[in-house]
């Protein structure tokens, strides 16, 4: 990654993860240049957070496109205006087409609210409670063509309290996300972590498992 890692953050909603990146950037602790925040929803509150922080915004509504491929092509064309080195999916609730992923191979990060490979997909917090899992958390990973299956970088985990609600669990997981996502992105931006041939390399070593932090 170049010294000034130009970054696009893609969102669909509230943008609390985006806010964590903005706050660290303001504290001078982010190795990324936040070039643009892109949303597929014009009412996403994350767009307000970006504007308040003086970051450029862009929005294309997926519903206005005939299919996934044409939407993704338009997103790629829009993002090309900023020539991003890295894409950060922060609550971007769209599945990306294979062509889009290939275009940015090894340069797209996602955060998923589960200890992947456990619980890909939606409603992870309720599914964790229903399954009686002892541990839950969130995973930062490189994006590949398979949904929520790309090689992991960093996981934050916590012990599940079986008495808590899915909402309480979600709130605790989000606190973790705000710490591990910027940390993992800093590792990638600084070249400590790379995706090569669909696998994660950390400090020049092949890493079959993500780094795990217990909170």
Between residues 1 and 10, which has the closer beta carbon with respect to ligand GAR?
10
CB of 108 to ligand GAR, least distance (A): 13
Between residues 73 and 174, which has the closer beta carbon with respect to ligand GAR?
174
Closest CA to 78 of 61, 59, 94, 62: 59
According to DSSP, the residues that pair with 156 across neighbouring strands are: 138, 213
Annotated catalytic residues are 112
Structure tokens at 42: 């014009």
Helix (H) or strand (E) holding 100: helix 98-103
Structure tokens at 114: 């589960």
The dihedral of CA 15, 136, 143, 146: what is its sign? negative
CB of 98 to ligand GAR, least distance (A): 18
Q: Tell me the C-alpha distance between 109 and 177, whole Å.
A: 13
CB of 52 to ligand GAR, least distance (A): 15
CB of 85 to ligand GAR, least distance (A): 21
Between residues 107 and 125, which has the closer beta carbon with respect to ligand GAR?
125
Contacting positions for ligand GAR (CB under 6 A):
11, 13-17, 46, 90-91, 111-113, 138, 174, 177
Q: Tell me the C-alpha distance between 167 and 178, whole Å.
A: 17
Between residues 166 and 191, which has the closer beta carbon with respect to ligand GAR?
166
Q: Which residue has the tokens 């205006």?
A: 81
Q: Using CB atoms, what's the residue nearest to ligand GAR?
A: 91
What is the widest separation between alpha-carbon atoms in the chain? 48
> Which DSSP category does 122 fall into?
S
């Amino acid at each position: 990654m170049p010294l000034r890692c130009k970054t696009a953050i893609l969102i669909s909603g509230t943008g609390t993860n985006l806010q964590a990146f903005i706050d660290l950037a303001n504290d001078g602790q982010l190795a990324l240049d936040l070039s643009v925040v892109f949303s597929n929803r014009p009412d996403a509150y994350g767009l307000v957070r970006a504007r308040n922080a003086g970051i450029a915004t862009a929005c294309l509504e997926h519903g206005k496109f005939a299919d996934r491929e044409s939407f993704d092509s338009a997103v790629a064309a829009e993002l090309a205006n900023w020539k991003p080195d890295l894409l950060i999916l922060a609550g971007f609730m769209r599945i990306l087409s294979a062509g889009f992923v290939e275009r940015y191979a090894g340069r797209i990060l996602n955060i998923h609210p589960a200890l992947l490979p456990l619980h890909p997909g939606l409603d992870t917090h309720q599914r964790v409670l229903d399954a009686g899992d002892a541990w839950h958390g969130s995973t930062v990973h490189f994006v590949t063509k398979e949904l929520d299956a790309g090689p992991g970088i960093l996981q934050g985990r916590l012990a599940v309290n079986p008495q808590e609600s899915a909402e309480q669990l979600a709130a605790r997981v989000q606190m973790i996300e705000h710490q591990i996502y910027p940390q993992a992105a800093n590792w990638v931006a600084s070249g400590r972590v790379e995706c090569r041939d669909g696998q994660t390399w950390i400090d020049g070593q092949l890493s079959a498992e993500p780094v795990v932090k217990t909170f």
